[in-house]
A and B are shown apart, each in its own frame.
Chain A
Amino acid sequence: EAGVVQSPRYKIIEKKQPVAFWCNPISGHNTLYWYRQNLGQGPELLIRYENEEAVDDSQLPKDRFSAERLKGVDSTLKIQPAELGDSAVYLCASTRTSGSIYNEQFFGPGTRLTVL
C-alpha cells in the first residue's frame, strides 16, 4: 500500500511569511497526526485528528498555527506568520483506528522548513 505522502519536502521562507504543508495519509487510516521535530530532538505532537475532528490540539500554538482536515482524508497545516523558531521538520503520521492503543503510527517523509 502507498505510504503517507507529504509535500513539499523542503520549504525556505523569510520570517513573517505564511507557509502551508499538505499530508495525504494511508488509505483507510482515520487518525492523522502532525508532529514537529526540532534538530536533535524527537517528534512532538502538534495536533491529532479523528476523521475530521481535531481531538487533541493542546500543543498547537494557536496564535500562528492552524490545521484542517475537511473531508477526513487530506490535511493541511499552516503557519502564519512564520518565525525563526519554526524552523524544523514537520511530520505527518496516520494510523488505522483510534480505538486501539496498540497500533503503530506510519510516518511520512516530512517537510523541512527553514525560516530566514
Chain B
Amino acid sequence: AQSVAQPEDQVNVAEGNPLTVKCTYSVSGNPYLFWYVQYPNRGLQFLLKYITGDNLVKGSYGFEAEFNKSQTSFHLKKPSALVSDSALYFCAVRAYSNSGYALNFGKGTSLLVTP
C-alpha cells in the first residue's frame, strides 16, 4: 500500500531560523508526493508536489521540498520561518486502487514558530 509517515508530532522553531518538516514514503512504483498546510478552522491548502524531474521542488509561501529516492523522503523546508507559518502540515502520497487514485495523508506535523 502507498503510505507516508510524519515522524514528528510537533516542530518548534524560532522566527528567522530555517525549518524542516519530515516525511518519508512507502510506495510501489513511482511516488507522487504532495504537501498541504492547514490553518485553524480552515481546509487544507496545497503547497507543492513532486511528480518527476528536479529533486528540489519549490512551492507556495517560500516553501520547498527535497525528494530523496535513496532515503525515501520528501522533507518540507523553508530557509527563514515566519510566525505566520505556524500551522498543521500534511504530507500525502497519490495512491492507486482498483477504482482509481486517491490521496493517502500522514497524520500531520504541527509547526510552531515563536517570535
Would you call A101 and B32 a contact (CB within 8 A)?
yes
A50 to B102, CA, bound (A): 12
Would you call B34 and A104 a contact (CB within 8 A)?
yes
CB distance from A81 to the nearest CB of B (A): 27
The verdict on B14 contacting chain A, using a C-beta distance below 8 Å, is no
Using CB atoms, name the residue of chain B closest to A100: B101
Would you call A43 and B97 a contact (CB within 8 A)?
no
Contacts of A93 in B (CB 8 A): 43-44
Partner of B102 from A45, A91, A104, A107 at Cβ < 8 Å: A45
Most A CB contacts (10 A, CB to CB) among B49, B92, B99, B106 go to B99
- Extra contacts, 17 of them, besides A42-B90, A45-B102 (Cβ < 8 A), are A40-B107, A42-B107, A42-B108, A43-B44, A44-B105, A48-B100, A55-B99, A55-B100, A101-B32, A101-B101, A102-B49, A102-B51, A104-B34, A104-B49, A107-B43, A109-B42, A110-B42
A2 to B17, CA, bound (A): 35
Chain A interfacial residues counted at CB < 8 A: 27
CB distance from A14 to the nearest CB of B (A): 23
CB distance from A35 to the nearest CB of B (A): 8
CB-CB under 8 A for A104 and B46, given A48-B102, A58-B99: yes
The verdict on A17 contacting chain B, using a C-beta distance below 8 Å, is no
* A-contacting residues, B38-52, CB 8 Å: 41-46, 49, 51
